[in-house]
Amino acid sequence: MTPIAGPIELKPKRFGDARGWFTESWNRETFKRGTGFDRAFVQDNFAHSARRGTLRGLHFQVPPSAQGKLIQVVRGSVFDVIVDLRRDSATFGRHHAATLTAEGGEQLWVPEGFAHGYCTLEDDTLVFYKVTVFYDPTADRGLAFDDPALGIDWPVPAAELTLSDRDRQHPKLADLAPIDWTPRG
């Protein structure tokens, strides 16, 4: 669980022996039992980051293309951050951070209504994530990773971060237009 209602940290069981280990990274019934959500994932994504200190985010899609994401690291490690964008939530504007590692196999379920991003903690990091809605460039948005109002203590100094030009231009939380996260349909 996380201190913010909705997101959930998960740790799938690993079964090991002299050869290594085996795990089910996602099983619909296990996910439903562990989270209470019964979601269909429609797209799988991989993101490779060559260098430690690569920051991707904070990203989200607005309704009706809002995405839920199941994040895991398959090589390396990340400092993973979510920000609650649900204005009617008691935790609006608060963030939660978790370290996800390939070695530990941790996962983070990020439901609709949250901005998401991460900073790589190692070179050659590979992140895998499943999403509930296809990528929609017309719904694609971002939030400033360095907004002081969020209070995110990134593990790599800002001067050493590698970001896309786009991720350097996102608005601060106070400048985001209100978003209606009410599920439709």
Contact, 132 vs 67, CB < 8 A?
yes
Check if 129 is active-site.
Answer: yes
Check if 48 is active-site.
Answer: no
The one catalytic residue among 59, 95, 116, 170? 59
The one catalytic residue among 95, 96, 116, 129? 129
- Amino acid identity of 168? R
- Our separate counts of H helices and E strands in the chain read 1, 12
Using the CB atoms, write b or e for 87-112: b if 16+ within 10 Å. Answer: eebeeebebbbbebbbeebbbbbbbb
Question: Count of CB atoms within 10 A of residue 152's CB?
Answer: 18
The set of residues, in sequence order, having a beta carbon less than 8 Å from that of 127 and lying 6+ positions away, is: 46, 47, 49, 71, 72, 73, 74, 78, 118
Distances (CA, A) of 123 to 39, 55, 160: 32, 12, 13
The residues carrying an active-site annotation are: 59, 129
